[in-house]
């Protein structure tokens, strides 16, 4: 621990920097129309350094500055769903999990229990709950589709989502924005960035916040318990020194007093979820660029304050019984980390990147329950997470070689990870065996990209990922909100994944297309299994069979006006789509009660299509989001046999389209050139749907009303109107 702090202090003394060069790729913060598609943009997430997208062996999806600013998304979940990044199980306005290529994040967004890794400025965010994070201060998002544990270690099984924040280089100038809309929506943000003349200093300051009342379902009534408040701030300072650019970033983001209906349709729950961090980075190179160095010291605090209650619970006999009047769970994750990444050019066309990652993390949880009269609840139970202390060390290297006049790029990388999970004393778990559990893992990747013609690239790669068991997985003893009890398993093995991928990219001035064919196999997935002969009791186990996902993914961006030779209009299009033609849970066939072997909580297919038409003073965008078929053994208490034949039944949710309409207008181009008015209609056709739950709000309520805690089904927001203005200066 002392060595970690000393190394971080050394970086602070060296100075204080910024993001990678690719973070400066974004344009001015007031982008009125999507720009012409870049031919071969630089990306940083795949290798932790700037590289042309066409030379990578795997698939990277980019959500750029223009796309973020044109969206009216109120959190990162909405923004990523608009771009078909993966399946999102949106439990509440403040809680979402994601599935990419079969790897899913934890339902509560707990970082160490997730198979999709969320990063902020290239380092661990400390959460995988995207709904607690706002897009307000995000300049760019890069998504690795598939395993990436060689570069990022544990959790990178299904993919990596890297949020690149604003700074003085990628967000020069100032901007203020305010927006209002349906259900009491009120949001605002203000930010200012730039470079001080002749000083080598750049800066950015931004504040954002908002609120909304409970929304109405499509064609239905109010969904009580879906309200939220949001607040965030960001400060960044960069200094150019003799050793390179040194930068500091300090930020906080979160949702407060957000409702949590959950699977019991509870309208009285509320929760605070926040994520704060501070970074110090150094990024430099020799004058001939043969040697480069990068260092980052970071501190993260991720907090969840859950104020839940479950007045009605299900007994072991399946009957309603009095439950809790209050069930409060407070969870705090603190992380200190250090990343060092020197790289060098060995010879012509050969680059070697090496890395050292160190982390120290502590997780602390408390829980307090108050039972209702007649519930029999007179004592406390352990929190949802065991207290734990986590130490991790990772060493990796990747060698790339360019051949054939730089048309062919070969890559190979390997990482060795070591970790120790220490089970710490946890409230209300007197029988917990305090011990340490160590693990190590070797992960590898290999691939190639070949430019077969100008603007045409073929690629192939293989990569592996892993996730280490947590203290909760190994030694849990917690009681869920609805009353069920889950125990840990000290014999759990780490989860692993192996992926093979073939892909191609075509890019010309004004358009780009990317196609990928992949197979991702996830082994030893840690899940829960009902304990035979004991009602309402489960154990953590390694899934006896693999999750195998085979699919095709497409990305498209095009400038139609340019292709047609139109010069006085802008007409751009985009499409992101995927089809998982094979998604099998091979462990399901071992259970006599499972009605399908289809992997759960991921789309069979999904898509997002959009087109923007406009001129310099105005633009209109139409976006269609296809949420494809999804399979799920729901936690809801549904009617039997009206809604499901038996409790453990895997449902298939039908596909649904959601359409959004957006537009903006510049009212005074001469007097106020930086002023722009905008508006949007989300869910234009007022569709009643929910991404994950079966019992949606409406007259044909499929839930068992005996177990409802105030609500009648869960639905996503119906038709929503928003309007606002943005001023750039």
- Mean of all residue pLDDT scores within the chain: 90
| CA pair distance 184, 439, nearest whole angstrom | 50
CB 218 within 8 A of CB 687: yes
| CA pair distance 531, 536, nearest whole angstrom | 8
pLDDT greater than 80 at residue 31: no
Q: If pLDDT is split at 50, 70 and 90, which confidence band does 527 have?
A: confident
Higher pLDDT, 688 or 509: 688
Higher pLDDT, 5 or 505: 505
Nearest CA-CA partner of 719 in 672, 678, 691, 680:
680
Question: Tell me, what's the pLDDT at 221?
Answer: 86
Antiparallel, parallel or unpaired: β 291-314 and 343-347: antiparallel
Share of the chain above pLDDT 70, in %: 94
Question: Which structure tokens are listed for 20?
Answer: 């990678």
Number of structural domains (the chain) is 1
Q: If pLDDT is split at 50, 70 and 90, which confidence band does 318 have?
A: confident
Mean pLDDT of 668-686: 93
Share of the chain above pLDDT 90, in %: 73
| CA pair distance 626, 608, nearest whole angstrom | 6
Mean pLDDT of 302-312: 94
DSSP E strands, 374-494: 388-403, 408-423, 436-453, 456-467, 477-479, 485-487
pLDDT greater than 60 at residue 337: yes
Q: Among positive and negative, which fits the CA dihedral 628, 140, 112, 102? A: positive
Task: Let me know the angle formed at the C-alpha of 259 by 661 and 179, rounded to the nearest 5 degrees.
Answer: 35
Written as one string, the DSSP assignment of 29-73 is S---SPPPPPSS-EE-TTTTS-EEGGG-SSEEEEE-HHHHHH---
Q: What is the pLDDT of residues 612-653, one digit of tens each?
A: 999 999 999 999 999 999 999 998 999 999 999 988 899 999
pLDDT greater than 50 at residue 179: yes
Considering only CA atoms, give the Rg of the chain: 25
Q: What is the pLDDT of residues 371-409, one digit of tens each?
A: 999 999 988 999 989 999 999 999 999 999 999 999 999
Q: What is the pLDDT of residues 41-80, one digit of tens each?
A: 889 998 888 899 989 999 999 999 989 988 888 889 999 9
Q: What is the pLDDT of residues 710-725, one digit of tens each?
A: 888 999 999 999 999 9
Question: Tell me, what's the pLDDT at 18?
Answer: 33
The range of the structural domain enclosing residue 582 comes to 2-728
Q: What is the pLDDT of residues 481-521, one digit of tens each?
A: 777 888 989 999 999 999 999 999 999 888 999 999 999 99
| CA pair distance 366, 385, nearest whole angstrom | 9
Sequence-separated (6 or more) residues with CB below 8 Å from residue 418:
392, 393, 394, 438, 439, 440
Which residue pairs from 400-406 have beta carbons closer than 8 angstroms and sit at least 24 positions apart in sequence? 400/47, 400/55, 400/350, 400/351, 400/353, 401/349, 401/350, 402/55, 402/349, 402/350, 403/349, 406/349, 406/451
pLDDT greater than 70 at residue 664: yes
Q: What is the pLDDT of residues 238-258, one digit of tens each?
A: 999 999 999 999 999 999 999
CB 447 within 8 A of CB 148: no
Q: Residue 533 — left, alpha, or beta (φ > 0 → left; ψ -120 to 50 → alpha)?
A: left
Question: Which structure tokens are listed for 405?
Answer: 């006049």
Query: For residue 500, what is the domain's CATH number?
Result: 2.40.170.20
Q: What is the pLDDT of residues 274-299, one digit of tens each?
A: 999 999 999 999 999 999 999 999 99
Q: If pLDDT is split at 50, 70 and 90, which confidence band does 590 have?
A: low
Q: What is the pLDDT of residues 83-121, one digit of tens each?
A: 999 998 888 888 888 999 999 988 788 888 899 999 999
Nearest CA-CA partner of 226 in 177, 181, 274, 185:
185
pLDDT greater than 50 at residue 166: yes
Question: Which structure tokens are listed for 79?
Answer: 């923004």
CB atoms within 10 A of CB 322: 17
| CA pair distance 212, 228, nearest whole angstrom | 6
């Amino acid at each position: 621990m002392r060595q970690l702090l000393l190394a971080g202090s050394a970086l602070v003394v060296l100075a204080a920097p910024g993001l990678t060069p690719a973070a400066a790729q974004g344009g001015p913060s007031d982008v009125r129309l999507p720009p012409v598609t870049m031919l071969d943009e630089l990306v940083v997430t795949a290798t932790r350094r700037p590289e042309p997208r066409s030379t990578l062996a795997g698939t990277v999806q980019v959500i750029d500055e223009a796309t973020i600013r044109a969206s009216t998304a109120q959190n990162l979940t909405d923004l990523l769903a608009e771009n078909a990044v993966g399946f999102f199980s949106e439990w509440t306005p403040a809680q979402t999990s994601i599935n990419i290529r079969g790897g899913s994040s934890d339902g509560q967004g707990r970082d160490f229990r997730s198979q999709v890794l969320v990063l902020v400025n290239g380092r661990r965010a400390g959460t995988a709950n995207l709904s607690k994070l706002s897009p307000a201060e995000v300049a760019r998002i890069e998504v690795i589709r598939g395993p990436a544990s060689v570069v990022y270690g544990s959790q990178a099984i299904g993919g990596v989502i890297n949020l690149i924040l604003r700074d003085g280089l990628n967000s020069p100038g100032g901007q203020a924005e305010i927006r209002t809309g349906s259900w009491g929506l009120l949001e605002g943000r203000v930010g200012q960035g730039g470079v001080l003349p002749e000083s080598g200093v750049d800066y950015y300051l931004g504040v954002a916040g908002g609120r909304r009342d409970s929304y109405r379902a499509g064609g239905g009534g109010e969904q009580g318990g879906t309200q939220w408040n949001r607040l965030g701030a960001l400060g960044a300072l960069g200094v150019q020194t003799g050793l390179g650019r040194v930068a500091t970033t300090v930020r906080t983001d979160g949702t407060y007093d957000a409702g949590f209906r959950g699977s019991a349709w509870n309208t009285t729950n509320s929760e605070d979820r926040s994520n704060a961090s501070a970074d110090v980075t150094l990024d430099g190179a020799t004058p001939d660029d043969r040697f480069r160095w990068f260092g980052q010291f970071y501190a993260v605090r991720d907090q969840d304050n859950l104020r839940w209650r479950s007045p009605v619970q299900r007994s072991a006999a399946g009957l309603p019984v009095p439950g809790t009047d209050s069930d409060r769970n407070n969870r705090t994750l603190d992380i200190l980390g250090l990343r060092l990444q020197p790289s060098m050019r060995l010879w012509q066309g050969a680059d070697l990147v090496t890395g050292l990652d160190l982390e120290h993390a502590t997780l602390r949880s408390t829980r307090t329950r108050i039972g209702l009269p007649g519930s029999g609840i007179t004592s406390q139970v352990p929190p949802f997470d065991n207290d734990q202390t986590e130490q991790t060390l990772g060493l990796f290297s990747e060698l790339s070689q360019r051949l054939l006049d730089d048309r062919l790029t070969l890559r190979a990388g390997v990482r060795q990870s070591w970790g120790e999970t220490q089970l710490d004393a946890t409230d209300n778990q007197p029988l917990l065996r305090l011990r340490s559990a160590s693990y190590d893992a070797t992960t590898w990747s290999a691939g190639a990209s070949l430019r077969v013609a100008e603007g045409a690239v073929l690629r192939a790669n293989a990569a592996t990922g892993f996730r280490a068991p947590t203290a909760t997985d190994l030694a849990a003893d917690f009681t869920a909100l609805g009353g069920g009890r889950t125990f840990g398993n000290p014999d759990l093995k780490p989860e692993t994944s192996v992926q093979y991928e073939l892909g191609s990219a075509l890019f010309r001035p004004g358009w780009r297309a990317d196609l990928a064919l992949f197979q991702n196999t996830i082994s030893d997935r840690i899940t829960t299994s009902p304990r035979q002969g004991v009602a309402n009791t489960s154990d953590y186990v390694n899934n006896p069979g693999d999750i195998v996902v085979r699919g095709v993914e497409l990305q498209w961006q095009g400038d139609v006006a340019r292709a047609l030779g139109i010069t006085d209009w802008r007409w751009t299009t985009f499409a992101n789509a995927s089809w998982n033609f094979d998604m099998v849970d091979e462990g399901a066939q071992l259970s006599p009660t499972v009605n399908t072997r289809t992997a759960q909580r991921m789309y069979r297919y999904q898509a997002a299509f959009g087109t923007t038409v406009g001129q310099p003073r105005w633009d209109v965008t139409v976006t269609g989001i296809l949420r494809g078929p999804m399979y799920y053994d729901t936690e809801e208490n549904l009617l039997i046999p009206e809604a499901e034949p038996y409790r453990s039944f895997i449902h298939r949710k039908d596909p649904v389209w959601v359409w959004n309409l957006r537009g903006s207008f510049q009212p005074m181009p001469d007097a106020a050139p930086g002023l722009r008015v905008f508006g949007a209609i989300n869910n234009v056709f007022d569709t009643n749907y929910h991404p994950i739950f079966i019992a949606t709000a409406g007259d044909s309520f499929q839930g068992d009303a005996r177990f409802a805690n105030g609500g009648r089904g869960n639905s996503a927001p119906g038709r929503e109107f928003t309007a606002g203005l943005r001023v750039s200066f």
